[in-house]
C-alpha cells in the first residue's frame, strides 16, 4: 500500500473506464477476436493488446488492415462493425467492476476530490456498460470518445486535457488512472501524474510503462 504522504492529494482524479473502473478489456478483446475470425483472420495476443484504450473507429480500421494482410481482402469498416457490435453489446453489459474501483470513487466523493471520466468509448457504449453500475453516476464530468469537443483520441493527450479543463484543474495537478499503452501515452503527454493499473502480469509484460508513471496492481493500493 502506498502511503498518503508519498502520494499527496490531487486537484482532481481523471479515470479511464475500460480496464480501470470496469473489467471490460477481456470482453472487448473477445468481441474483436470473434469478429476477425468471422472474416477469416485470428488475431494474436499482442494484436489484441494493442487495440486497448483506442477508439472504436481506430480499432476497426486497424483490424480491417490486419484482415486484409492475412486474407487479401478487407471486409470494410461497416461490415466489420456490423458483426462486432452485437457481440460487444451482449458481452459488455456483464462486465464487473475492477477491484477497488467503486470504493476509490466513493472516497474521492467523500474527500471532495473532483472526478472526470476520460474514455475512448462513445457515449452510447458507456451508457450501456455503466447501466449495471450506479456508482459510476458519481462521476458526472465526462469526456467520451465521440465527444464533439474532442479533437483527437488517445494516444493524443486531448481526452485528458479536455477532462482537466472541464474540472478547471491544471493537468499537472491531476492524477490520471490508465491501463493501456495508448492511454498511458495520452495521460503522460497531457502532463498528469499517471498511475498505470497493471493487474495482469502477462498483459503487463507487453506494456511499456513510461518514465515517471507509478504502477499499481490494484486500485486498492491508492491511498486516498
Ligand atoms: Mg483502458
pLDDT in tens, the chain (224 residues): 454 446 789 999 999 999 999 999 899 999 999 999 999 999 999 999 999 888 899 999 999 999 999 999 999 999 999 999 999 999 999 999 999 999 999 999 999 999 999 999 999 999 999 999 999 999 999 999 999 999 999 999 999 999 999 999 999 999 999 999 999 999 999 999 999 999 987 667 778 999 999 999 999 999 88
Report the separation in Å between the CA atom of 182 and the middle of ligand 1, taken as the mean of its atom positions.
Answer: 9
Report the separation in Å between the CA atom of 159 and the middle of ligand 1, taken as the mean of its atom positions.
Answer: 12
Contact 104, 43 (CB under 8 A): no
Report the separation in Å between the CA atom of 23 and the middle of ligand 1, taken as the mean of its atom positions.
Answer: 9
Q: What is the rounded CA–CA span in Å between residue 157 and residue 151? A: 10
Q: Most distant CA pair in the chain: distance in Å?
A: 57
In a 3-state reduction of DSSP, which class is residue 18?
strand
Strand residue runs (E) in 119-162: 141-143
pLDDT at 4: 47
Report the separation in Å between the CA atom of 178 and the middle of ligand 1, taken as the mean of its atom positions.
Answer: 6
Q: Give the DSSP letter string of 92-123.
A: HTTPPBPTTHHHHHHHHHHTT--EEEE-SS-H
pLDDT at 39: 97
Contact 146, 46 (CB under 8 A): no
Active site residues: 16, 18
Q: What residue has cell string 472526478?
A: 115
User: Exposed/middle/buried for 204, CB within 10 Å: 0-12, 13-18, 19+?
Assistant: middle
Q: What is the rounded CA–CA span in Å between residue 123 and residue 54? A: 14
Report the separation in Å between the CA atom of 211 and the middle of ligand 1, taken as the mean of its atom positions.
Answer: 19
**Alpha-carbon torsion 69, 71, 72, 75, what sign?**
negative
Report the separation in Å between the CA atom of 119 and the middle of ligand 1, taken as the mean of its atom positions.
Answer: 8
pLDDT at 59: 95
Report the separation in Å between the CA atom of 17 and the middle of ligand 1, taken as the mean of its atom positions.
Answer: 6
Q: What is the rounded CA–CA span in Å between residue 84 and residue 95? A: 17
Amino acid at each position: 500500500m502506498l502511503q498518503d504522504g508519498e502520494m499527496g492529494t490531487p486537484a482532481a482524479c481523471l479515470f479511464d473506464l475500460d480496464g480501470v473502473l470496469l473489467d471490460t478489456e477481456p470482453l472487448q478483446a473477445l468481441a474483436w477476436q470473434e469478429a476477425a475470425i468471422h472474416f477469416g483472420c485470428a488475431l494474436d495476443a499482442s494484436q489484441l493488446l494493442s487495440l486497448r484504450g483506442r477508439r472504436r473507429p481506430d480499432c476497426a480500421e486497424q483490424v480491417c488492415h490486419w484482415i486484409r494482410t492475412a486474407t487479401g481482402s478487407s471486409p470494410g469498416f461497416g461490415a466489420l462493425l456490423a458483426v462486432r457490435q452485437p457481440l460487444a453489446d451482449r458481452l459488455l453489459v456483464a462486465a464487473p467492476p475492477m477491484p477497488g474501483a467503486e470504493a476509490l470513487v466513493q472516497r474521492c466523493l467523500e474527500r471532495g476530490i473532483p472526478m472526470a471520466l476520460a474514455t475512448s468509448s462513445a457515449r452510447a457504449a458507456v451508457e450501456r456498460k455503466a447501466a449495471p453500475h450506479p456508482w459510476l453516476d458519481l462521476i458526472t464530468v465526462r469526456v467520451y470518445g465521440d465527444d464533439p469537443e474532442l479533437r483527437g483520441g488517445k494516444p493524443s493527450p486531448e481526452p485528458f486535457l479536455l477532462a482537466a479543463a472541464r474540472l478547471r484543474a491544471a493537468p499537472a495537478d491531476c492524477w490520471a488512472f490508465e491501463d493501456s499503452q495508448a492511454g498511458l501515452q495520452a495521460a503522460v503527454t497531457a502532463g498528469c501524474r499517471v498511475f498505470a493499473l497493471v493487474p495482469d502480469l502477462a498483459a503487463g509484460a507487453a506494456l511499456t510503462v513510461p518514465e515517471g508513471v507509478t504502477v499499481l496492481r490494484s486500485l486498492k493500493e491508492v491511498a486516498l
